Structure 1
């Protein structure tokens, strides 16, 4: 027995009941996510129209699954490969369960767990920047019910992987526990985001703002930033290290390179023009986004600017403001899927500003403010969203692709030129991989040209789709195939017809 035990009496045994954890956040976020996910999955095979980008990323995931390298053709460092490596981990399952599905439709289903994680993280980030439960729920629903999300969120885009990982980095940087491993994990998550889609790198300052606000200057902040930098560098260095070990870090004769691809992206790629210039690619793209959902884009942009003055909202506002600034820059390249990165930050900003406005009123007045917001949502937002959401749930824009895939599966294997939407369907149907040719590679890949010593005459069929016909003048072999072939089957309406064309061996 020690002296301390003699002086101080032993503590009485505790009779208090164990404290039960409040699981309201868990039940609320999971319940709302389940509802949105059901809407996202409904008619996912029918809408929107399958794009060549989706087919490309899915084919690259197939190459990873089957040990064919990082892509189904020579990987040229166009984008970091981590997104389709992640896709490869789960894209095999839907096709195994329903083998008759269009390959892109099966790939879209494999994206659903990722989108569920993104929805949950929108709620988590909202709560960690101080939003009340109802506001975090509004943020989740604003994001998930937007017609833009129900359209773009269904598609197989690298941006979807990147934005989920950057949201995870924000959630970890805002951790209330402030453990160093959380900050290191935030750095690792940010690195995974960049290795999924390199353009997400511009949002990194938002994570640093969150880290700064969530740490104390004299104690945890230096260690937190050190841990974050360690996670970021240790994970991020794998990609350039991979290129270095393969002798492909710098441009050289006879091989692709990482820096060569960066030079192309930054200097050689043609821009989309200014969004303020009528008729430019960027202006047309902005109008297409506004067509689907002007409510979230306009309200989100306004809320983002307003949220910059609210300290707790600043990490999310900085992310949104940077994305707005990048979209507004003149002459840069603006891809169609760029809006995928914008939507969650706009949704959180809208919810955060709404919560701030409500908090300015006395408790007895808040219900009046909430009632006004509900009425506005029901009379202004709901009618606009109903049209877009209804189309997402009912349209069947991929019927022609489904019929073309079914036709190709029934034919004996041959040398066929297709877009990347149908590439994997042909391979899965038993066509030899080297005899299914993505149309872009006919004129742009010397290895493909070497397999066709007779040029277009060595091709048996070409499947003419809107993507194949989009700009044939820049692809002379594709043009020759279209000119020297006849239609043997066609599917779909005239403005989006898909034709199976048999190639004549003699010029017409």
Structure 2
């Protein structure tokens, strides 16, 4: 008998309802995920420096990341525990290489490109999570597309917000919690990732119960208590690093002459509320209208889908599997509904992945599943067979055909409603340049014929243009002054002994004009100045105002 080598046998195809143990081991998943990811990066990357308009928050986070890179501390001014610093520490890592190679590029508009990396990782994690929760490939791709291609996502995920970084980490935590391997270290890792998400953006704290629910459903019965306890311990111990940092710096408790973590928490908790989101006279309702202006489908249909999934958890495997993400969407919606809280425009970023997953999961629900299994309402059986008898359904394909027809009809209806509006909103994001006034203002202030000695000139400006001024030669902090600090930071006010008379220019952006009435020094500088250059039109214009010499 001679030995023969075994011939290669093609591996049997795996149904797309079976989640891959590793994404890279499934070529269909790789191809589908890669195609959707390419579309997301193309749409979000196109015109990312031009739209939306630069915001002061973006400039603040990037300026703080710049301070970390330059070894100037945790912020470009006094760090006062308004947010945990981990978010912009990560941003400093992401922007370190381009900033090292091209220092002048370290400003808000060019550095938005770094957010494409965050979006790419988040989108892939969402696809992985959808597959691990049992969604079919097409449903996972749908959720990924909703998450990355919704006009809300195209606008908000471009911007340098801590919420986008936090979403990446909470999706990683959910992926680890739903790991099909059920390794204990995966659950410890989920707790660690959840803590990083919370330390990147504190409001992620409210999502942790939903993460715990997902972990509880995906742990092995014999090791469930140990795994969950380990995850909670990892999360708590990591989260305690923040108050420990404050304690070691003698800044945990309030005191004279220093900032404190307690004061920072008190400030965040005492911020003026935005009102009830359904009250059309409230600030929260204005924020809601801004969300719905870009996309009505994902916020409204996604939330309805989350409620449907929770209701379907008793009879649907998909409902049970997606109970965690659906719970997260509902919790975040309830937090937004509270009448006394502050609702920022970027809050919806945290909801987007859970709304997208819920909507994709609801579309993939199979209410006729029991027809196929012979349960209540099943088709009658008849005796048939070749040379014998056997029980087969009279109409074996009818439930599947009905299900597919219903799904197709719903999909076509939804596409007819959503796509025209999506096209209009996305077309604006891809073609409109709202940041030309900022670029023109930065160019004017760099021009030595306009400002001969930047190093001896003091300019009040918002943080959206602050780094541009620093690169142009204005002294960080005292020459280029973030306008809030002129009134609110004692370290800066003492450098202005004559108040507004020590200011040379004010870059009157929409943010500066909006908040100046509450800032006495900034308001006086605007009143006693004249416009020497103006860029843009209407409310979005940028004015460069020079403080009148005779007023000083």
| TM-score, normalised with respect to structure 2 | 0.86
d(CA) in 2 for partners of 1:99 and 1:226? 46
Corresponding residue number in structure 2 for 1:69: 73
| Cα 1:389/1:99, change in 2 over 3 Å | farther
**2:341 pairs with 1:341:** no
Alignment of 1:71-220 (within 5 A): 71-94=75-98, 103-217=107-221, 219-220=222-223
Instruction: Say which of 312, 331, 335 aligns to 1:326.
Output: 335
Q: Report the CA distance between 1:250 and its aligned residue.
A: 1.2
d(CA) in 2 for partners of 1:476 and 1:61? 29
Aligned residue for 1:363, secondary structure, equals: helix
**2:249 pairs with 1:246:** yes
d(CA) in 1 for partners of 2:416 and 2:366? 20
Instruction: Say which of 316, 319, 325 aligns to 1:316.
Output: 325
d(CA) in 1 for partners of 2:101 and 2:165? 24
Do the aligned partners of 1:271 and 1:331 also contact (CA within 8 Å) in 2? Answer: yes
CA-atom RMSD in angstroms: 1.9
d(CA) in 1 for partners of 2:38 and 2:368? 29
Do the aligned partners of 2:118 and 2:168 also contact (CA within 8 Å) in 1? Answer: yes
d(CA) in 2 for partners of 1:110 and 1:319? 27
Corresponding residue number in structure 1 for 2:304: 302
Alignment of 1:320-399 (within 5 A): 320-357=329-366, 360=369, 362-399=399-436
| Cα 1:102/1:84, change in 2 over 3 Å | closer
Alignment of 1:269-308 (within 5 A): 269-308=271-310
d(CA) in 2 for partners of 1:260 and 1:476? 23
Aligned residue for 1:45, secondary structure, equals: coil
| Cα 1:353/1:359, change in 2 over 3 Å | farther
Instruction: Say which of 230, 233, 243 aligns to 2:233.
Output: 230
**2:462 pairs with 1:419:** yes
d(CA) in 1 for partners of 2:104 and 2:533? 20
Segments of structure 1 that go 5 or more residues without pairing to the other structure are: 1-11
Do the aligned partners of 1:488 and 1:500 also contact (CA within 8 Å) in 2? Answer: yes
Do the aligned partners of 1:47 and 1:392 also contact (CA within 8 Å) in 2? Answer: yes
Do the aligned partners of 1:484 and 1:506 also contact (CA within 8 Å) in 2? Answer: no
Corresponding residue number in structure 2 for 1:5: none
Instruction: Say which of 458, 467, 480 aligns to 2:511.
Output: 467
Q: Report the CA distance between 1:19 and its aligned residue.
A: 7.3
**2:535 pairs with 1:494:** no
Write the deviation string for residues 337-368 of structure 1: whole angstroms up to 9, x where unpaired. 10000111001000001111476483333432
Q: Which structure: larger Rg?
A: 2
| Cα 1:358/1:58, change in 2 over 3 Å | farther
Q: Report the CA distance between 1:23 and its aligned residue.
A: 2.4
Do the aligned partners of 1:462 and 1:500 also contact (CA within 8 Å) in 2? Answer: yes
Aligned residue for 2:352, secondary structure, equals: helix
Aligned residue for 1:501, secondary structure, equals: strand
Corresponding residue number in structure 2 for 1:407: 444
Write the deviation string for residues 186-241 of structure 1: whole angstroms up to 9, x where unpaired. 01100000010001100000110011001133x11022113212321332222111
Q: Report the CA distance between 1:178 and its aligned residue.
A: 0.5
| Cα 1:100/1:376, change in 2 over 3 Å | farther
Q: Report the CA distance between 1:15 and its aligned residue.
A: 3.1
| Count of aligned pairs between the two proteins | 495
Q: Report the CA distance between 1:18 and its aligned residue.
A: 7.8
Do the aligned partners of 1:173 and 1:183 also contact (CA within 8 Å) in 2? Answer: yes
| Cα 1:13/1:129, change in 2 over 3 Å | farther
| Cα 1:230/1:451, change in 2 over 3 Å | same
Corresponding residue number in structure 2 for 1:439: 483
Corresponding residue number in structure 1 for 2:502: 458
Q: Report the CA distance between 1:16 and its aligned residue.
A: 6.0
Q: Report the CA distance between 1:447 and its aligned residue.
A: 0.7
Instruction: Say which of 53, 56, 59 aligns to 1:52.
Output: 56
d(CA) in 1 for partners of 2:234 and 2:135? 28
d(CA) in 2 for partners of 1:221 and 1:503? 67
Aligned residue for 1:440, secondary structure, equals: helix
d(CA) in 2 for partners of 1:152 and 1:44? 11
Do the aligned partners of 2:83 and 2:201 also contact (CA within 8 Å) in 1? Answer: yes
Q: Report the CA distance between 1:374 and its aligned residue.
A: 3.5
d(CA) in 2 for partners of 1:423 and 1:231? 38
Do the aligned partners of 2:182 and 2:220 also contact (CA within 8 Å) in 1? Answer: no
| TM-score, normalised with respect to structure 1 | 0.94
User: After the TM superposition, which of the residue ranges 39-48 and 102-111 deviates more from structure 2?
Assistant: 102-111
d(CA) in 2 for partners of 1:73 and 1:427? 14
Write the deviation string for residues 409-461 of structure 1: whole angstroms up to 9, x where unpaired. 22331211111001011111221112110000111011101111121111111
Segments of structure 2 that go 5 or more residues without pairing to the other structure are: 12-24, 314-318, 372-398
